[in-house]
Structure 1
Amino acid sequence: MSITASVTQKNNIHVCGNQDAAQTIIFGHGFGSDQTAFGPLVKAFEQDYKIVLFDNVGGGKADIDAFNPARYSNMQGYVTDLSDIIKSLQLSCIIYVGHSVNGMIGLLTAIKHPDCFDKLILLGSSPRYLNDPTSGYTGGFDMEALNGLYNAMSTNYYAWASGFSALVMRNADRPHLAEAFAASLSEIRPDIALSVAKAIFEMDHRDDLGKCKVPSLVIQTSDDVAVPLIVGDYLAQHIPGSKKVNVTATGHFPHVAAPQEVISAIRNFI
């Protein structure tokens, strides 16, 4: 098997859109989600851009045998995966749209390979989810809350997935949105989900923000339980030359709940 084929299989890569386009948009999904969450965004940009979709190892239809708890105990394993995708597909002039944790994965990859990236779009992203009382930083969670979350995941994963989905999706008037995310979460092996959740919720990449030289857009919703408004402000203040857009969508998944708003924000930026 060639390197390109093995990387493609490992991350369930799909390439679509305009193959002759000068720029490539890569969409990176968040925890518990997969590449199908970007359907409306793909349709909006596929005429004018080459599109690359992938699943993080441990989620979606990525190769489950590729998951190694040590490799993915922090973001560097995912950064290496994204670097491998870019290298194997020989991508340049990249516009990277990263939702949630994949926003930070994209930013860290852009720091390593700045010449490959044209723009970064951070969609509901956070450099650190834990509050840090010593510095006055508010991430949205304290350790007690995270331990409760881990305990719930360990005790009854599928019940947790249902409750967590409704909490982060919001939009209670459209319960099918939370149900779809719960189904996506439930397809992840519980031990892998717990391992990945710990790596995400306990990461801290605040010191890396200032190293990013790629023009960046922070897209923030009005009611995101995982990423409070103040975190979006923090990103915009600490990523050099970045811009921030508040969309009126609620919840942690604006690209799912209000795709047209997100599409408009991205279009204006790129």
Structure 2
Amino acid sequence: MSFSRRNNAKITGNGTRTMMFAHGFGCDQNMWRYVAPQFEDDFRVVTFDHVGAGGSDLSAYDFQKYGTLEGYASDIVELGHELGIDDGIFVGHSVSAMMGVLASLKAPEMFSRLVLVGPSPRYINDGDYHGGFTQQQVDELLEFLDSNHMGWSQAMAPVIMGNPEHPELSEELTNSFCKTDPEIAKHFARATFMADNRDDLDNVTVPSLILQCAEDVIAPVSVGHYLHAKLPDSKLVLMNATGHCPNLSHPKETTEAIRSFVDVE
């Protein structure tokens, strides 16, 4: 099976340069439906599902491989090679932002710019580093998910999404979480919330855009500032958008911030 089929990749757009959009935990490429099409006039646009999500090939899910974010980053590189991506732009939401960082280190020629939407290199507080969660909170979150996948999805989706004035967005995220195979969801959550990619940041050589949302319980503003300080060539944009999913809740602001970055040559 090709990597494109494995990851249910969709290719649209008219440009010679490629923009690849990657979704976060518990979601699929549909999360980019308001943003990715805005770039089709100028770029070849690639959206895809991580293995275990959306329309991906579930038989390709390997619990050992996907026990860390490195496995997902390897998929991105394999898909990029198959599609002939060179000098491309990677746009990653949430945990996919760090997958993009890892992919750029594995294949430096593939992406010449990284767009990191709501990124976090480490969710757990550590000394002077404030990731937003204590170890105990993460342990409890994972234990809740292990014991009650549906209940976790219904409780966490509104917190993650924010924007209570738009309950339909929380409902969409809840449904997305609930559609995910429970065992895969548990495994992906552990790989996400236990990851520590802080040491990888120093090695990134390509320009990076950090889109930091306000009132984001998953990636607080302190994390955005940390990333900006650590990534050698980065721009931090503090968005008016609230919550953790601006690609759904504030697509216009998200699109404009990305465009202003990728149009600067």
- TM (norm. structure 2) is 0.97
Pair 1:225 & 2:246 matched: no
Once residues 268 and 169 of structure 1 are traced to their aligned partners in structure 2, the CA distance between those partners, rounded to angstroms, is: 25
Query: How well do the aligned residues superpose, as a CA RMSD in angstroms?
Result: 0.9
Pair 1:146 & 2:142 matched: no
Once residues 55 and 193 of structure 1 are traced to their aligned partners in structure 2, the CA distance between those partners, rounded to angstroms, is: 14
After superposition, the C-alpha distances for 1:87-130 in whole angstroms (9 at most, x for unaligned) are: 11111121110000110011111112111212100000111111
Corresponding residue SS for 2:229: helix
Instruction: For residue 69 of structure 1, report the CA deviation from its aligned partner.
Output: 1.2
> What's the counterpart of residue 68 of structure 1?
62
> What's the counterpart of residue 105 of structure 1?
99
> What's the counterpart of residue 123 of structure 2?
129
> What's the counterpart of residue 6 of structure 1?
2
Once residues 151 and 37 of structure 2 are traced to their aligned partners in structure 1, the CA distance between those partners, rounded to angstroms, is: 33
Instruction: For residue 159 of structure 1, report the CA deviation from its aligned partner.
Output: 1.4
The unaligned stretches of length 5 or more in structure 1 are: none
Asked if the contact 1:22/1:93 (under 8 Å) is kept, the reply is no
Higher mean C-alpha displacement, 217-226 vs 142-151: 142-151
> What's the counterpart of residue 17 of structure 1?
13
Moved over 3 A (4+): none
Corresponding residue SS for 2:122: coil
Instruction: For residue 155 of structure 1, report the CA deviation from its aligned partner.
Output: 2.1
Instruction: For residue 27 of structure 1, report the CA deviation from its aligned partner.
Output: 0.1
Pair 1:51 & 2:45 matched: yes
Letter in 2 for 1:116: M
> What's the counterpart of residue 204 of structure 2?
212
Once residues 116 and 159 of structure 1 are traced to their aligned partners in structure 2, the CA distance between those partners, rounded to angstroms, is: 40
> What's the counterpart of residue 90 of structure 2?
96
| Correspondent of 1:30 among 11, 20, 24 | 24
Once residues 36 and 86 of structure 1 are traced to their aligned partners in structure 2, the CA distance between those partners, rounded to angstroms, is: 20
After superposition, the C-alpha distances for 1:62-88 in whole angstroms (9 at most, x for unaligned) are: 111111111111111111100100111
Corresponding residue SS for 1:125: coil
Letter in 1 for 2:94: S
Corresponding residue SS for 1:87: helix
- TM (norm. structure 1) is 0.95
Q: In percent, how many aligned pairs have the same letter?
A: 39
The unaligned stretches of length 5 or more in structure 2 are: none
After superposition, the C-alpha distances for 1:170-220 in whole angstroms (9 at most, x for unaligned) are: 011110000001111111111110111011101111011010001100000
